[in-house]
């Protein structure tokens, strides 16, 4: 039940009547009349209890895009229902329209078209549907809220998609679908062909040359069917906001580009998100379904405000990955966290796998290091220099373990990681 502004206004007007006609009976009579009106309205208002709600349309939407969905209102009662309807979602679901007028005859259905323009990644749950049906006199309304469950999954935006074509072109050069095949661009034997001027003499296959009249060279191609294991660190360091987006989202973006590239290159890609437990996993996905499976796994991830358990992470990797793989750890180069956690465990990991660490650096630190002018700016610069020195020292130490390190600001981390992968591929180090 709900009252309307009209009832309030009429009661207010009734309060002024005694100033003209000073009679208590008249005032009581007016009040009685209004009460009667309320009862009539409540009796004659559309039966909101008889409404049933159904939903249809998209359940998945990429962040930044708009999903189309519909709420279908079915009237199972015997009277027509005219009402205002509000579909209640969290604000970040970006539902429009937020309120709709419905007019559903008995036994029929009406469809309300909705669009969702979410502003944040993750799962959004519909809270409830509220219907308010005002009676014929407009004094009172029947109101009811009824759950109509639905989950809208908002997937990561993957803005670094635009880097994919250029990286694929370079991959094609490597795999020989394109231009030259020369030694050094791979270690896997591909085929024999006749020597042409310009070929590396070291790649001449003397045995095959001896069998033929011609000089024959071996050609090589990059390895296929290698394994990549992407590890997303969702611990406290991933919550840091770099520019406008959390570090975790940058890491996801880089991981998606790398996965898209590696799956085209014929490598197998698995994903693990870990802080103190496994937050998400995407393993053994088919090549065609890889990206959607990864995006699906990443969508509900949120940074956890806890210190990541490096030992647990390493043992989770070791127990899952038997074959030699490229382990790509997307984390933050935090000296304190590394020295206590991952550094002592790295030799064990690098002994069996090739390890690459990708970290998003903060452009603000670079800005601060350049700052001059007043005293505060110089102290800022000193602190930034100190942070950069710590980071450099950590990177040098990691490299001494044979770890590949990619350290780039958020707008360049995804292409930088893809380039590092291509360089490894070209060098045949996978």
Partner 1 sequence: MVTTAEPTAGQVAGRRFRSARGIVLVLLCVIVVGVVLAALKPSRKPDDLDPGSPKPGGTRALAEILKSRGVDFQASRSAADAAPRAGAGTILVVTRSERLTRTDLERLRGSVGDLLLVEPGRETLAALAPGVEQDGPTFVLQADPQCNLPAATLARTVEFGQSETYTVPSGATGCYPESGKPRVVQYQSANRTVTVLGAARPLTNGELTTEGNAALAMNLVGARSHVVWLIPDIHHESSGDRAGDRTLTDLLPRGVKLFFPGLLVAIIPVALWRGRRLGPVVAEVLPVVVRSAETVTGRSRLYRAHRARGRAAEALRAGARDRIVPLLGLPRTLAQVLPAQDPGAAREVVTAVAARTDHDERTVAAALYGLAPGEAPQGGAPGHPGQPATGWGEPADDAGLLALADLLDDLERQVRQS
Q: Give the angle subtended at the CA of 217 by the CAs of 216 and 223, to the nearest 5°.
A: 145
429 touching partner 1, by CB under 8 A: no
Residue of 47, 36, 60, 41 lying closest to 2 (CA atoms) = 41
| Residue 76 is a binding residue for partner 1 (CB under 8 A) | no
Q: Does 100 bind partner 1 (CB under 8 A)?
A: no
Asked whether position 97 contacts partner 1 by CB under 8 A, the answer is: no
Task: Kindly state the smallest distance separating residue 26's Cβ from partner 1, in Å.
Answer: 9
> Which lies closer to partner 1 via its Cβ, residue 135 or residue 186?
135
Contact 331, 237 (CB under 8 A): yes
Question: Does 376 sit near partner 1 (CB under 8 A)?
Answer: yes
DSSP 204: B
Options 4, 75, 219, 308; binder of partner 1; rule CB under 8 A: 4
C-alpha neighbours within 13 Å on the C-beta side of residue 209: 12
Q: Does 380 bind partner 1 (CB under 8 A)?
A: yes
CA 240/CA 48 separation, integer angstroms: 47
Among the candidate windows 110-118, 240-248, 262-270, 318-326, which touches partner 1 by CB under 8 A? Answer: 240-248
Q: Please select the residue that binds partner 1; options are 49, 241, 324, 429, rule is CB under 8 A.
A: 241
Whether the Cβ atoms of residue 76 and residue 119 lie closer than 8 Å to each other: no
Using CA atoms, how far apart are residues 196 and 182, in angstroms rounded to an integer? 11
Q: 227 φ, ψ to 5°?
A: -115, 135
Asked if residue 187 lies in contact with residue 223, where contact means CB atoms within 8 angstroms, the answer is yes
- For residue 9, give both structure tokens: 């206004």
Per rule CB under 8 A, is residue 413 in the interface with partner 1?
A: no
- Out of 177, 383, 423, 427, point to the residue binding partner 1 (CB under 8 A): 383
- How far is it, in rounded angstroms, from Cα 359 to Cα 237? 10
Give the per-residue contact string, 300-339, with partner 1 (x = CB under 8 A; - = no).
--xx-x--------------------------x-------
Interacting residue with partner 1 among 42, 44, 100, 130 (CB under 8 A)? 130
CB of 3 to partner 1, least distance (A): 5
CB under 8 A: which stretch of 171-179, 184-192, 239-247, 279-287 binds partner 1? 239-247
Q: 192 vs 382, which CB is nearer to partner 1? A: 382
User: DSSP string covering 105-140, please?
Assistant: -TT-EEEEEEEE--SSSEEEE--EEEEEEE-TTSSE
Decide whether 387 or 416 has the Cβ nearer to partner 1: 387
Q: Which residues pair with 227 in a beta bridge?
A: 268
Contact with partner 1 (CB under 8 A): which of 233, 267, 275, 362?
362
- The interaxial angle of helices 413-426 and 247-264, nearest 10 deg, is 30
Which of 240, 266, 300, 428 binds partner 1 (CB under 8 A)? It is: 240
The least distance separating partner 1 from the CB of residue 246, rounded to whole angstroms, comes to: 5
What is the 3-class SS of 306-371, one letter each residue?
Answer: CCCCHHHHHHHHHHHCCCCCEEEEEECCCHHHHHHCCHHHHHHHHHHCEEEEEEECCHHHHHHHHC
Contact residues for partner 1, defined by CB under 8 A:
2-5, 7-8, 11-12, 14-24, 27, 31, 84, 86, 88-92, 99, 120, 127-128, 130, 132, 143, 145, 239-242, 246-247, 302-303, 305, 332, 362, 364-365, 368-369, 372, 374-376, 378-389, 392
């Amino acid at each position: 039940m709900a009252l309307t502004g009209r009832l309030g206004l009429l009661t207010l007007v009734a309060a002024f009547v005694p100033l003209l006609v000073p009679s208590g009976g008249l005032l009581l009579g007016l009040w009685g009349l209004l009460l009667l009106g309320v009862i009539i309205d409540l009796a004659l208002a559309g039966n909101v209890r008889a409404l049933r709600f159904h939903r249809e349309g998209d359940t998945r939407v990429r962040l930044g895009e708009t999903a189309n969905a519909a709420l279908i209102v079915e009237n199972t009662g015997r009277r027509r229902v005219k009402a205002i309807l509000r579909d209640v979602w969290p604000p970040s679901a970006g539902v429009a329209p937020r309120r709709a007028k419905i007019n559903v005859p008995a036994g029929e259905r009406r469809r309300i078209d909705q669009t969702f323009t979410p502003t944040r990644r993750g799962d959004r749950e519909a809270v409830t549907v509220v219907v308010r049906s005002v009676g014929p006199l407009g004094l009172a309304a029947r109101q009811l809220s009824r759950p109509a469950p639905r989950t809208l999954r908002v997937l990561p935006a993957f803005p670094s998609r635009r880097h994919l074509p250029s990286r694929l072109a370079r991959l094609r050069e490597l795999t020989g679908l394109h231009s030259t095949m020369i030694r050094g661009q791979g270690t896997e034997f591909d085929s024999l062909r006749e020597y042409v001027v310009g070929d590396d003499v070291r790649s001449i296959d003397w045995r095959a040359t001896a069998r033929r009249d011609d000089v024959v060279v071996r050609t090589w191609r990059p390895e296929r069917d290698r394994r990549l294991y992407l590890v997303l660190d969702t611990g406290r360091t991933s919550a840091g906001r770099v520019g406008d987006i959390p570090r975790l989202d940058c890491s996801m973006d880089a991981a998606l580009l790398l996965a898209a590239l590696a799956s085209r290159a014929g490598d197998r890609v698995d994903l693990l998100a870990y802080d103190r437990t496994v937050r998400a996993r995407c393993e053994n996905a088919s090549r065609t379904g890889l990206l959607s499976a990864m995006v699906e796994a990443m969508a509900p991830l949120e940074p956890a405000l806890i210190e990541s358990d490096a030992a647990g992470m390493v043992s989770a990797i070791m127990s899952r990955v038997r074959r030699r793989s490229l382990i790509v750890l997307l984390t933050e180069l935090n000296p304190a966290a590394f020295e206590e956690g991952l550094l002592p465990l790295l030799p064990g990991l690098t002994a069996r796998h090739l390890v690459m660490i990708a970290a998003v650096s903060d452009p603000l630190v670079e800005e601060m290091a350049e700052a001059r002018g007043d005293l505060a700016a110089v102290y800022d610069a000193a602190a930034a220099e100190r942070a950069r020195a710590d980071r450099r020292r950590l990177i040098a130490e990691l490299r001494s373990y044979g770890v590949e390190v990619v350290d780039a600001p958020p707008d360049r981390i995804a292409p930088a990681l893809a380039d590092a992968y291509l360089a490894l591929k070209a060098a045949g180090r996978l």
